[in-house]
Structure 1
Amino acid sequence: MTNSTNLSLIYLDSNATTPVHPAAAQAVMSTMTQTFGNPSSSHITGIRAKDIMEKTRNAGKKLLGIDKGQLIFTSGATEGIQTAILSALVEAKKSLTPNKQYYLLYGATEHKAVPNSLHHWNQILGINAEIKAIPVDHQGKLDLNFIAEHAADSLMICTMAVNNETGVYQDLTALETTIRTTNPHVYWMVDCVQVLGKRNLNIENTSIDYAPFSGHKLYAPKGIGFVYVRSSAPFTPFIAGGGQESGQRSGTENLPGIASLKAIFDILNGDSAHQFSNHSQLQGYRLQIIKALKEAFGDIVLNHSLENTVPTTINFAIPGFSSKEIMDLFDAANIRVSSGSACSSKVTRSFVLDAMGLPAWQSESAIRMSFGPMFNQDDCDQACERIISAAKALKESCLVVSNEINETPLDGLVELRSGNNCCWVYADKQTKTAVVIDPVHELIQRIVNLVNCQGLTLKAVLDTHGHADHESSRNEIAKALGMSTATCHLGWPTDTDCIEMLGQTYSSITIGNHNLVKVPTAGHTADSVSYLLTQKFNGEYQSSMCHFAFCGDTILMGSLGRTNFETSSSAEMYASLRLLNQLVDEQSLICASHDYYNEFATTIALERGRNQLLNSVLSNSIDLDTFCEQKSVLDSHLNDEQGQEIQCGAYVEVDAALKIREYDKDSLARLLKDDQNIKLVDIREPHEYALQRSSNVELNVPMTRLVQFINERSKQKQDKYVLVCRSGSRSLVVAQALGRLGFENVGHLKGGYALGL
């Protein structure tokens, strides 16, 4: 299977790791095939190996200005951090005063390896010092006053030379003055992993006691690093054994890795035919990329200053986009970036940006682009060109403003998400009309872009109830689109039709060949309503005519909406559930306003099977008083901790994860060859699909259109589908959702495009 696009790789994640420099790779290969001796061996091959190791050590000392201090080879920065902390704390423990409060200080934006290691060795050694984070300001600079206040009673202070997420560098001279003025003898470690090739560092002119470095951050292989130890600093071997490295770090030395460091040291020292870009050139590249980002996305927000950061890092956010959306876009365009730190694959808020006091949306939307000193003008030009072309693909999803109407008309239901909040847009392509249900502030621009991109006329912007966790955005959307704001309850238009359903009259608006019917369903709140999208009917209404039921928080996936708000009523919810059961078919899709477990939609039949309380109401096996008692018990399970998101319903029962068929590249190829009925479905968004896809993919069903797809294929649940996405994560979630809703032959491609579809 091959991709329809064959874009060259644009790698902009060098703060996570770098490719191996050709000179370093050559040094590795030479030591593996020719000078492969054990440096501890006394024969000629061993002597030659030892010579490589010592020449590398001398080159490193030359680079860092080391005369008396030690340079010890390690497996990487984490080992260097352990070595430094263990050495300092073992020595500090010898002179502790009983019952005195001691501190271990570290920068609040420090790599997690540092505080985690401090906690570990503090506990293992029984020191029981208080571990405190040194605050930073909005530019990421450490609070010198805080250090001065606590340094006198501190056993160790850990800071960073350059931050891995933002590129912020610290003023080591000011830090040293503050630390040594207050406590000349406290042990000071500086994480120097991101400094080489970006900042000058004459380490022996400072009073830094320990400084760990990592090879793979600057074009050497993974698994090699080194740590500087000041001549007067205490030292305890972290790895004991055969006595290598003069007993300071046992274990047979990683000679190929050490030789690769020599190649990098020589370039930095000016002792090589190879050269790196200088500081001025790197600054120019960063400015050029920022200009391209602004051209591509319009309004971008830098999460750091350009004045106190190294020129190889850009940390930014794009209003209206999550970090995952931008990462998915760039991955499809074969651009590699990161969301904050790459030491955890989970995309989440950046603790670094949180510590700097940046707004939550910037922390949640942060993208890090980073390159190294090997980056050149040609690399920069290609990166900028690709960034701009990737952003143009966003018009496929109507995520950016365009002067042209999208050529693919929207027809049916679209789900937009902001966290656990679900917003629903239903559009009819024939009449070019649409409605929006349960909008949230974070999605305003996305909704406006979608409407304008598709050339739609909004008939209404509606809420299902007055939400407790956010303000309605309907008036802002109406204003942005030039709509009339003269509406009645929850945005419902004043000029509507009346429609009779099962002997009752309801208000209705027409959208193409469908009616959107407003049904009062109080309970979760006093003003709660449900909107039923039904096919047009002239005669008697039947519940099977209802395609989608937008029930707000009355019926949630795996739960019922809470009824312990001030305006809630369990008794009214009891009646509303029974009413919905009459108007909504058991297989009609229920579209809630919150989705806490990535289930997308549900049905009354599915909910009856796992929610005994709901089933009891609908089967008439429980009276009103008993329901209210049991509903109170259910609501007591809600988790409403201060500062946490308000939960609109307590989950009744967590389903056992469905077992989904998983395929790898080879097994999927065999399956497609043997079974012609398999449909390969790409579930990424249209802009990703436009940039990268397999020739074997028959359908693009974005997650935003999944509920519409489920409705359209409700009579074809026996069909065989294999779902694909970028990495296999989304395809697994969607496969489980489809399986839960009765699709019997669904599998997914583990690893997705990342592993070679």
Structure 2
Amino acid sequence: MHTEIYLDANATSAVHPAAIAAAALAMRDCYGNPSSSHATGLKAKAMLDGVRALARRVLGAGQGKLTFTSGATEGIQTAVLSALCEIRARRARGETTGDLLLYGATEHKAVPESLAHWNALLGTGLELRALPVDADGRHRLDVLRELAPRAAFVCTMAANNESGTISDLAGIEALLRECAPTALWMVDSVQALGKLTLDLAATRIDYAPFSGHKLYAPKGIGMLYVREGAPYTALMMGGGQEAGQRSGTENMSGIAALGAVLAALDDGASFRTHAQLVRMRERLAAALRAALPGIVFNAPFEHSLPTTLNFSVPGLAGKELLDLFDAAGVRVSAGSACSAAKAAPSYVLTAMQLAPWRCAAAVRMSFGPMADDALIDAACERIARCGAALRASCLIPSATPAQDSDGVVQLGVDGACTWLVLDAASRTCAIINPLAALAVRIADQVRCQGYRVRAVIDTHGGAGDGRAALVAALGGQLAGGISHEALGWPVLDDEATLDNGQVASALMFGTRVLARVAHASGASYLFGERSAAGLAAGDVRFAFTGPDAVIQELAELVSRKTIVCPACEAGSLPCTTLVAERGGAAPPANPLAMQLEAHGLERFFNDHPDALLIDVREAYEHAAADADHWHGRAVQSVPLSRLADRLSVWLRAEERPLVFFCRSGARSVKAAQCLHRLGYRNAWHVAGGVALGAMLPQAA
């Protein structure tokens, strides 16, 4: 599609070219075991000692210990084990210790989980207590002053990986010296390396873990600083490597690579200065403000790393923003990569007591100190494209009317569905089963598109809250001066005769009609082309039903190709038909049987020249991606939210091969499965979507 703009450096970084070269050199020419006494081993040991000396200088380690580890998690584990073993030993000697394991409420989850693990395993019986932070994300020093006399071990971080907030380490240190002189102190310094000035030996910090892959070194290499005289218990015992501090043959290629990064950091010229990084952040912030009206930055820049922006946008979910940026080739995240798979509001922002919507919708954009103006230029251009895509889709305010929408659109929250019936010719619409969570969005969209709402209706009782919320949000956009029945259906004189002779109340949309069919449990609504005789079963394109499909009541009124649009997704699929619900459709194919690999697309299209390649990402993603062609093939945009609308056409036409794709394959497989369930067997999806397909050579 286009080149990648990587702005997720707080999760991991690309490997520095010098680090790659150093690792290759270590594997090729310096492959000896540094514990060996022969010349090859001595050469390896000299390299190891040289990197350690460089690391000590960069960190200001003084006489403290500097041990190479596999990364920050191992360093944290080692520090926690060392501290808790010392606390247990002090108690055994009859010395007084605190009873609290105090950690910052915004710490990386590796810290509290390590504390809980070793506290239980060692039987120390200490109380874990989170130290709260203020609205800026900085530790509450007033609470620390109160709790410090009870603290046995204190864990804070130099800078937060999600918000970018820089801790007041000087303030924490002063309080610990005054109120907790014997408490041990660990500072997670992962995000500090290369971004903050470090002089560890000049501080009271006992333990400081680091991770190489956050600053252009490969994964699997890190460091642990231990202050001179601080207690230490080895996590790994065996061959006695690292002066007995960490057994196991050293990761020489990783250490060599880390050494190259430290050398670049030490030379004072390879990385951008603080002032340069601040200017880059300001340019990104300005681009975001222009593209995303109402954007709120979740941590004040004056207390944050100059390489991190954490923000939320009113009315837009975090996942929507991630999908949008990803479609545009801009890689950002919703927070810590370690917890990205857990669909929950950011615990970091929650600890800062920010508004729930900000915590749930937050996006993190981060870059490294090697960033240059070309990267920022490209990022700002892509951000502007994202804003334009959102405006064109009416997801943010736009002075330019959006393209006409016509037909049926599905919106949803947690499997519940809202359906929009849109008529572009008359600029009118009806909204069925509105969800309260979508009320403002729907009102903004119909306002942006210039539609007048004819009806806001439910299919069943108990859904009135959503209807009330939408009616309030619509204000003057809802057609007035009309009385309504219990489920919101307007009382009008228009009628349509259905296939069984029943005369139904109806709403006319040009040549189409929306007819109401009453049931004991509520109502269903039939939408299709009207004729002089009324609404024939074969002309009903869509049937909107309640949570439980009313099969018997609709059987005589619709055709086998009518798309049933339920109030809740049908088996996690967007829509269904009466035939499928009654078991008349063949069982869906094995997911693997409908799967295509991106590298096989050219052959597939050569064998099926009439096949359609369909992007099921939402319209704003498709626009941001500029994805009119993929692998040399023309692309149609059929968002998953419009799948039901297009299905009503595909099921009534001659079957042809359909190949769906999205970002990762999660949505495209859903589209293919839906078609298979409805009896359309010539449907496929691209495994891995554009995320993996982009790794392959593309046709011109």
Relative to the length of structure 2, the TM-score reads 0.89
Give the superposition deviation at 1:54. Answer: 1.8
Q: In the alignment, what sits opposite 2:574?
A: 600
For 1:540 and 1:55, the matched residues in 2 are separated by 87
C-alpha contact 1:717 1:742 (8 A) present in aligned 2:
no
CA 1:101–1:210 in 2, change beyond 3 Å: closer, same or farther? closer
Deviation string, structure 1 residues 289-314 (Cα, Å, up to 9, x no partner)? 11111111222111222222111110
State the secondary structure of the residue aligned to 2:301: coil
Query: 1:119-518 maps to which residues of 2 (within 5 A)?
Result: 119-269=116-266, 271=267, 274-346=269-341, 348=343, 349-407=345-403, 409-464=404-459, 465-467=461-463, 470=466, 472-479=468-475, 481=477, 483-484=479-480, 486-489=482-485, 490-501=487-498, 502-518=500-516
CA 1:432–1:482 in 2, change beyond 3 Å: closer, same or farther? closer
For 2:157 and 2:7, the matched residues in 1 are separated by 22
Is 1:76 the counterpart of 2:71? The answer is: yes
State the secondary structure of the residue aligned to 1:94: helix
Amino acid at match of 1:488: H
For 1:606 and 1:354, the matched residues in 2 are separated by 44
Is 1:745 the counterpart of 2:682? The answer is: yes
Q: In the alignment, what sits opposite 1:50?
A: 45
Amino acid at match of 1:664: E
- Select between 89-98 and 72-81 the one with higher mean Cα deviation: 89-98
State the secondary structure of the residue aligned to 1:219: coil
For 1:179 and 1:597, the matched residues in 2 are separated by 57
- Select between 187-196 and 544-553 the one with higher mean Cα deviation: 544-553
Give the superposition deviation at 1:529. Answer: 3.4
CA 1:355–1:739 in 2, change beyond 3 Å: closer, same or farther? farther
Give the superposition deviation at 1:315. Answer: 0.6
State the secondary structure of the residue aligned to 2:633: coil
Is 1:39 the counterpart of 2:34? The answer is: yes
CA 1:204–1:263 in 2, change beyond 3 Å: closer, same or farther? same
Is 1:686 the counterpart of 2:684? The answer is: no
Is 1:722 the counterpart of 2:655? The answer is: no
- Select between 437-446 and 53-62 the one with higher mean Cα deviation: 437-446
- Select between 147-156 and 505-514 the one with higher mean Cα deviation: 147-156
**Counterpart pick for 2:649 among 712, 722, 731:** 712
Give the superposition deviation at 1:254. Answer: 1.9
Give the superposition deviation at 1:727. Answer: 1.3
CA 1:10–1:595 in 2, change beyond 3 Å: closer, same or farther? same
For 2:464 and 2:129, the matched residues in 1 are separated by 36
C-alpha contact 1:148 1:182 (8 A) present in aligned 2:
yes
Give the superposition deviation at 1:554. Answer: 4.5
Give the superposition deviation at 1:373. Answer: 1.4
C-alpha contact 2:434 2:466 (8 A) present in aligned 1:
no
Is 1:118 the counterpart of 2:115? The answer is: yes
Give the superposition deviation at 1:609. Answer: 4.3
For 2:580 and 2:153, the matched residues in 1 are separated by 58
Q: Which runs of 5+ in 2 are unaligned?
A: 695-700
For 1:587 and 1:102, the matched residues in 2 are separated by 69
Give the superposition deviation at 1:587. Answer: 5.1
C-alpha contact 2:164 2:308 (8 A) present in aligned 1:
yes
State the secondary structure of the residue aligned to 2:19: helix
Amino acid at match of 1:250: S
Query: 1:527-606 maps to which residues of 2 (within 5 A)?
Result: 528-539=522-533, 542-555=536-549, 578-585=552-559, 588-595=562-569, 598-606=572-580
Deviation string, structure 1 residues 373-430 (Cα, Å, up to 9, x no partner)? 11233322222122112322334534344344445x3221111234444221112333
For 1:717 and 1:194, the matched residues in 2 are separated by 58
C-alpha contact 2:298 2:311 (8 A) present in aligned 1:
yes
Amino acid at match of 1:373: P
For 1:235 and 1:755, the matched residues in 2 are separated by 45
Deviation string, structure 1 residues 323-344 (Cα, Å, up to 9, x no partner)? 2222222222211111111224
C-alpha contact 2:309 2:365 (8 A) present in aligned 1:
yes
Give the superposition deviation at 1:210. Answer: 1.1
Deviation string, structure 1 residues 182-219 (Cα, Å, up to 9, x no partner)? 43222221111001222223222222221110111111
**Counterpart pick for 2:599 among 656, 660, 666:** 666
State the secondary structure of the residue aligned to 2:463: coil
C-alpha contact 1:498 1:508 (8 A) present in aligned 2:
yes
Deviation string, structure 1 residues 140-189 (Cα, Å, up to 9, x no partner)? 22233444454444443222111101001211122223344443222221
C-alpha contact 2:291 2:387 (8 A) present in aligned 1:
yes
Deviation string, structure 1 residues 55-84 (Cα, Å, up to 9, x no partner)? 222222222222121110111111111111
State the secondary structure of the residue aligned to 2:468: coil
Query: 1:648-659 maps to which residues of 2 (within 5 A)?
Result: none
For 2:275 and 2:352, the matched residues in 1 are separated by 27
C-alpha contact 2:432 2:457 (8 A) present in aligned 1:
yes
CA 1:529–1:700 in 2, change beyond 3 Å: closer, same or farther? same
- Select between 117-126 and 325-334 the one with higher mean Cα deviation: 117-126
Identity of aligned residues (%): 43
C-alpha contact 1:142 1:170 (8 A) present in aligned 2:
yes
Give the superposition deviation at 1:15. Answer: 0.4
Q: In the alignment, what sits opposite 2:24?
A: 29
C-alpha contact 2:576 2:674 (8 A) present in aligned 1:
no
State the secondary structure of the residue aligned to 2:671: helix
For 2:569 and 2:535, the matched residues in 1 are separated by 30
Give the superposition deviation at 1:697. Answer: 4.4
CA 1:378–1:718 in 2, change beyond 3 Å: closer, same or farther? closer
Deviation string, structure 1 residues 77-111 (Cα, Å, up to 9, x no partner)? 1111111112222332334479x994433222111
Amino acid at match of 1:548: F
CA 1:168–1:588 in 2, change beyond 3 Å: closer, same or farther? same
Report the number of matched residues: 681
CA 1:659–1:32 in 2, change beyond 3 Å: closer, same or farther? closer
For 1:180 and 1:15, the matched residues in 2 are separated by 31
State the secondary structure of the residue aligned to 2:646: helix
Give the superposition deviation at 1:725. Answer: 0.8
Q: In the alignment, what sits opposite 1:521?
A: 519
C-alpha contact 2:495 2:506 (8 A) present in aligned 1:
yes
For 2:287 and 2:532, the matched residues in 1 are separated by 56
Amino acid at match of 1:164: N
- Select between 184-193 and 491-500 the one with higher mean Cα deviation: 491-500
CA 1:730–1:114 in 2, change beyond 3 Å: closer, same or farther? same
Give the superposition deviation at 1:657. Answer: 8.2
Amino acid at match of 1:205: A
For 1:392 and 1:28, the matched residues in 2 are separated by 43
For 2:517 and 2:89, the matched residues in 1 are separated by 75
C-alpha contact 1:286 1:311 (8 A) present in aligned 2:
yes
- Select between 450-459 and 309-318 the one with higher mean Cα deviation: 450-459
CA 1:335–1:101 in 2, change beyond 3 Å: closer, same or farther? same
Give the superposition deviation at 1:593. Answer: 3.0
Amino acid at match of 2:602: A
For 1:675 and 1:482, the matched residues in 2 are separated by 48
